[in-house]
Chains A and B, each alone.
Chain A
Amino acid sequence: MKSCIFPAFTLATILLTGGPAAIAQSGPEETPAAESEADTDPMQDPMQVVRGAKAWNETCSRCHNLRSPSELTDEEWDVSVTHMRVRGNLPASDVRDILAFLQASNNQ
């Protein structure tokens, strides 16, 4: 191993783990997924949000970490979920449930 690797390794380790770790720990807490579920329209099927939360957890985590619902607006989630429907071959019923959950949980 080259001699300059070890200082570089140390520096990069500090930059990529220690620094970001401190930033992350001092930053705002991540939004709980279903924090504002009570804000959903009571006229809608309340079980759709529950089904959506379950499908969101099972489906999205097959490929990547679960993104917080608060990351996107209702409109953006609409587009993003359609994109994921195509990419992941998701069933339409799951897509509708997941979208209802995300839009009910994003505080927007």
Chain B
Amino acid sequence: MTCAKYRSVALATVALIGLPALAQETQEQSPPDPQTAALLERIEQLEAELADLRGVVLQSTETASKAEAAAQDAVDRIAEVQDQTSPAPSYAVSPGMPDTKWHLAGYADVGFVGGDTPGPDSFVSGKFNPALHFQYKDFLLFEGEFEYATTGDGETESELEYSQIDLVLNDHTVLVVGKYLSPIGQFQERLHPSWINKVQGAPAGFGHDGVQPTSDTGVQLRGSIPAGVTRLTYALAVGNGPRTTSEGGVELMGMGSDDNSNKSVGGRIGFFPMPALEVGGSYLTSRVDGIMNPDMPVPAGSGLPLDARFQLWGVDAAYTKGPVAARFEYLKSERGKLFTATDEEPDGVLLPDLKMEAWYGQLSYRLSGFSDSEFIHRLEPVVRYGEFSISGHPELEEENAQNRLNAGLNYWLAPTIVAKAGLEWRDYTVPGVPDETLIQFQLGYGF
């Protein structure tokens, strides 16, 4: 190669390699034009947004992982619960519950009675009513209640109020067997315990020697049936029924055995026109035998009525909403003519038709919204008026027939502890029987 040719190759090499570097250096040193600068700035913004998005995506991924783990845990727990519940019988026992559970309940009261009465003013020991409930699983309950009271001469009276076994047949029916509180009306079955009763005693005619049956021994079917937007409640009973007393009246309490083959049939049906209002109707029918003197048998063919039909019917209503409780009950009974021996006529006497009728209305109002005072909140005024009439039994009428007015003020120490103070005016309807005014105090405790 010639010298000139070497020079040409060297120059070309220098030109091809060195000029781009020279051009780049020239370009870096010169300021970018506005369009390039804008593009560079846009690129930087996009890079920043991309970094933010990467952070968000990472966070979302972490959250999704946690949610997935929680969902899987929930699915596992549901499967575990299903495994535990699937083999359960129709009457299952709550987890951790023994087969037999029990509960000691009841109520007690003490008090003072004075006023314009034949007897002296007196503190009264009241009643002590322990109740025991034993439940086997969820379908059988035994419940029994005693009543203990101290008489005026210091004796202790005891009585089995009820002793029954309840068998839950299905969601709408319970079979009750044994001695039970009478399902007639509302007062005796639900309202008579002293921590529930707003007044110290029962309304006239709804206690001892009244028209209200206290208990019976037999069998009941009872429960609740849906009826559209409301429901019906029912209690249908067949029992030993009432019995003629030695005074010629009718004993309406559960006997341990029957004195005749005629069982009583009755019960109550209730329904709720609105949630706060319950209305009901009751009915009882039976036959009662006269008491025979073995030494003086009734001659055959005498035509004397040795037994008589006994009928009882009634209606009741209760409106309870917030602090207001309004109640009404009416009962009427009839017994036909009956030949029987009595304490005064041991050889027998023909008793006339016996009719008894009783009703009461009661209104109470808890002063829970009247003031900021806790003391006022616990007060509850109550008023009750009732009438009890009897025809066909002069002694019973003289002793019990009356119009009775109660006015009282209750103080609730707790939902089941009440102190009651009240006045009771007894206007006896038989001429010559002096009226009475009672001042009554009672402390009742339900437990």
Give residues of chain A (57-108) contacting chain B, Cβ–Cβ below 8 Å. 58, 61-68, 71-72, 74-76, 78-80, 82-83, 85-93
Cβ contact within 8 Å between B112 and A12: yes
Q: Contacts A4-B121, A79-B102 hold; do A30 and B414 have CB atoms under 8 A apart? A: yes
Number of chain B residues close to chain A: CB under 8 A: 65
- What is the CB-to-nearest-CB distance from A96 to chain B, in angstroms, rounded to a whole number? 9
Specify which of B141, B226, B233, B416 is in contact with A83 (CB 8 Å cutoff). Answer: B141
Main secondary structure on B side of the interface with A? strand
Cβ contact within 8 Å between B222 and A89: yes
Residues from chain B with a CB closer than 8 A to the CB of A47 are: none
A-B contact count (CB 8 A): 141
Cβ contact within 8 Å between A91 and B224: yes
In the assembled complex, B391 has its CB within 8 A of some CB on chain A: no
A78 and B304 alpha carbons, distance in the complex (Å): 55
Q: How large is the interface on A (under 10, 10 to 19, 20 to 34, 35 or more residues)?
A: 35 or more
Q: Contacts A16-B419, A87-B190, A89-B222 hold; do A5 and B114 have CB atoms under 8 A apart? A: yes
Give residues of chain B (99-153) contacting chain A, Cβ–Cβ below 8 Å. 101-103, 105, 112, 114-116, 121, 133-135, 138, 141, 143
Give residues of chain A (15-72) contacting chain B, Cβ–Cβ below 8 Å. 15-17, 20-21, 23-25, 30, 43, 58, 61-68, 71-72
In the assembled complex, B28 has its CB within 8 A of some CB on chain A: no
Main secondary structure on A side of the interface with B? helix
Among B43-51, B170-178, B381-389, the stretch in contact with A: B170-178
Residues from chain A with a CB closer than 8 A to the CB of B420 are: 16
Q: Contacts A62-B278, A68-B415, A92-B172 hold; do A43 and B77 have CB atoms under 8 A apart? A: yes
11 contacts between A and B (CB under 8 A): A2-B114, A8-B121, A20-B411, A30-B415, A43-B77, A64-B196, A74-B94, A79-B102, A82-B135, A82-B138, A91-B231
Task: List A residues at the B interface (Cβ < 8 Å).
Answer: 1-2, 4-5, 8-9, 12-13, 15-17, 20-21, 23-25, 30, 43, 58, 61-68, 71-72, 74-76, 78-80, 82-83, 85-93
Task: List B residues at the A interface (Cβ < 8 Å).
Answer: 77-78, 81, 94, 97-98, 101-103, 105, 112, 114-116, 121, 133-135, 138, 141, 143, 166, 168, 170-172, 174, 176, 189-191, 195-196, 222-224, 226, 231, 233-235, 270, 275-276, 278, 318, 320, 374-375, 378, 411-417, 419-421, 437, 439, 441, 443, 446
